[in-house]
Amino acid sequence: MSRVGQSPVNIPDGVTVEIAGALVSAKGKLGELSVKLTDDITISKVDNTIVVKPVGDSLQSRKMWGTARAVINNIVVGVSEGFSKKLTIIGTGYRAQLQGNKLQLQLGFSHDVIFEVPEGIKITSADPTHLEISGADKQQVGSVAAKIRSYRPPEPYKGKGVRYDDEYILRKEGKKK
């Protein structure tokens, strides 16, 4: 039985949620998000909360119960507060520069990596070695951060590369004489 699915999703002030069958739409100060869920669950709005229940006692409906509740919570939190990921660039000469809606990354290659910032994502840079990726869609924010990190993942010997701010790199010892 799902423990995540049992707790209702609270709707904060300033957010409107519409439920039309399996389609859930949320509108807030950061935009509008909608998600189509499976028919194995029922979604209902009670006062200022959204309650998710499984349709039957099948394994599939119990699996989707907690997943649907988490997805609904992510869109409600996304349109009210938003999500963000922070990246740190470590290495001599490694840096990032924002040019309009393009991110220019110098990561030790013979050429600069140009990353096109997708719609709905905002990238800010406090200095050339720190990036903050923010947006309303949690999946899209995580995907953009992972894509930028994939250009030069951190290596275990010197720790050079692009890493998440809270990521710990397990360092290896180099060659010995």
Q: Tally Cβ neighbours within 10 Å of residue 25.
A: 16
Domains of the chain, first to last: 9-80 (3.90.930.12), 83-164 (3.90.930.12)
How much is the mean pLDDT over the chain? 93
For CA atoms 151, 153, 157, 159, the dihedral sign is positive
What string of DSSP letters covers 98-158?
EETTEEEEE-SSSS-EEEEPPTTEEEEEEETTEEEEEES-HHHHHHHHHHHHHTSPPPTTT
Does position 40 have pLDDT exceeding 70, yes or no?
Answer: yes
What pLDDT, on a 0 to 100 scale, did the predictor assign at position 2?
Answer: 60
Stretch 88-109: mean pLDDT = 94
Q: Cβ-count burial of 14 within 10 angstroms (0-12 exposed, 13-18 middle, 19+ buried)?
A: exposed
What pLDDT, on a 0 to 100 scale, did the predictor assign at position 11?
Answer: 93
Stretch 108-112: mean pLDDT = 94
- Model confidence at 139, pLDDT cuts 50, 70, 90, reads very high
Structure tokens at 58: 């099948």
Q: 143-172 pLDDT, tens per residue? A: 999 999 999 999 999 999 999 999 999 999
Model pTM greater than 0.75?
Answer: yes
What pLDDT, on a 0 to 100 scale, did the predictor assign at position 5?
Answer: 84
- Model confidence at 77, pLDDT cuts 50, 70, 90, reads very high
What pLDDT, on a 0 to 100 scale, did the predictor assign at position 1?
Answer: 56
What pLDDT, on a 0 to 100 scale, did the predictor assign at position 116?
Answer: 96
